[in-house]
Amino acid sequence: MALLVFSGCAGPITEPGRQDGPKIITTNFPLFDFTRVIAQGQCSIAQLLPPGAESHSYEPSPRNIINIQECDLFLYIGGENDQWIKNILDSLGESAPESLALMDCVQTLPEVEIEGMTEVGHNHEHGESCGLEHGTDEHIWTSLRNAQLMVSAICERLCAIDPEYADTYRKNAEAYCIQLEELDGRFVQMVDSAARKSIVVGDRFPLLYFAQDYGIEWHAAFPGCSAQTEPSAATVAFLTDYIRSEELPVVFYIEFSNHKVADAIAEATGVETALLHSCHNVTREQLDVGVSYLSLMEQNYITLSEALN
């Protein structure tokens, strides 16, 4: 069995498995977490994105590429930000591992720019454009409904490459999907009965799928895949005025943000700031205390229920 060896001072995110089990590599935390819940120790799992790192600025090392080549299953999102993955898989030819792009398993949404946003070009670190006219929003995992589809798709791939444990994988996936469905139902009930239905995010907005699921009206400083951190004065003014007019009690920021924009808006309006987590990655400290996709979404439920009421 080849070992999954990663370089980087932050250390990889890994989950050990049985010695003769499949070796799985994922790009981001939701895919890693979904897989470890399904596998329950039967697979060795590693995440390419280091803990605490932002996916839009990730660059694979030569060791990472070798690990991809040597794994049994490679799981990635499949959007424009993952073009480097497609290039690597194409270059490996017949030696490329079995892979699954999870965007192929859900119904995607186009990225949108709405009133008040700072207009940006959306150029990714890897040279790809996330243009608003044709770009697809890649943050598919922020929908608990998409998460269920993704879990089922990953489960079927694990069953195919490791059929001896197929019953175990399916049992674990079914139990997990019940938990995801239950939380989704709680979000529906909470938003339906809430005093308000709108939020402001003084940051990027990678929660389009989440917002659409529950009919949440939103305004944000930047689109979901923007690398910008400095909004226009018009954007700050619009978001500030919107909070005042709607009498919103909170302005949100997302994980790994310096939340300067949210802080400035909060200072101008006298409201609180709060984290709304897109779940794309976690810190080493969060890993050490057992944070999961489900626990992050549970925290979002608590935070959002307070903000909407």
Concatenated DSSP letters of 232-251: -HHHHHHHHHHHHHHT-SEE
- Report the pLDDT value the prediction gives residue 149, as an integer from 0 to 100: 98
Which pLDDT tens digits describe the chain residue by residue (309 residues)?
Answer: 344 544 444 567 999 999 999 999 999 999 999 999 999 999 999 999 999 988 777 888 888 899 999 999 999 999 888 889 999 999 999 989 999 999 999 999 998 888 888 765 444 443 333 334 448 999 999 999 999 999 999 999 999 999 999 999 999 999 999 999 999 999 999 999 999 999 999 999 999 999 999 999 999 999 876 666 688 999 999 999 999 999 999 999 999 999 999 999 999 999 999 999 999 999 999 999 999 999 999 999 999 999 999
The reported pLDDT for the residue numbered 132 is: 40
Cα torsion 236, 299, 212, 157 to 10°: value is: 130
pLDDT for residue 12: 77
Q: Give the pLDDT of residue 131.
A: 36
Question: Are 13-183 and 192-307 in the same CATH fold?
Answer: yes
Q: Tokens 């700072």 map to which residue? A: 118
Q: Of the candidates 125, 117, 151, which has an alpha carbon nearest to the alpha carbon of residue 39?
A: 151
Contact present, 111 and 137 (Cβ < 8 Å): yes
Characterize 37-58 residue by residue with b for buried, 16 or more Cβ atoms within 10 angstroms of its Cβ, and e for exposed.
Answer: bbbbebbbbbbbbbbebebbeb
The residue extents of the domains of the chain are: 13-183, 192-307
Q: Cβ neighbours of residue 125 under 8 Å, at least 6 residues apart? A: 56, 57, 58, 59, 227
Q: Contact at 8 Å (CB) between 208 and 105?
A: no
Residue of 74, 73, 75, 68 whose CA lies nearest to 92: 68
E strands present in 86-143: 98-101
d(C-alpha 182, C-alpha 180), whole Å: 5
| C-alpha distance from residue 155 to each of 100, 126, 176, 245 (Å) | 11, 30, 11, 47
| Rounded CA separation 307/255 (Å) | 17
State which amino acid sits at residue 66. I
Q: What is the pLDDT of residue 126?
A: 37
Q: Which class does domain 192-307 fall in?
A: alpha beta
- Specify the residue for token string 């619009």: 238
CATH architecture of 13-183: 3-Layer(aba) Sandwich (3.40)
Tokens read off for 292: 């999961």
SS3 of 159, please? helix
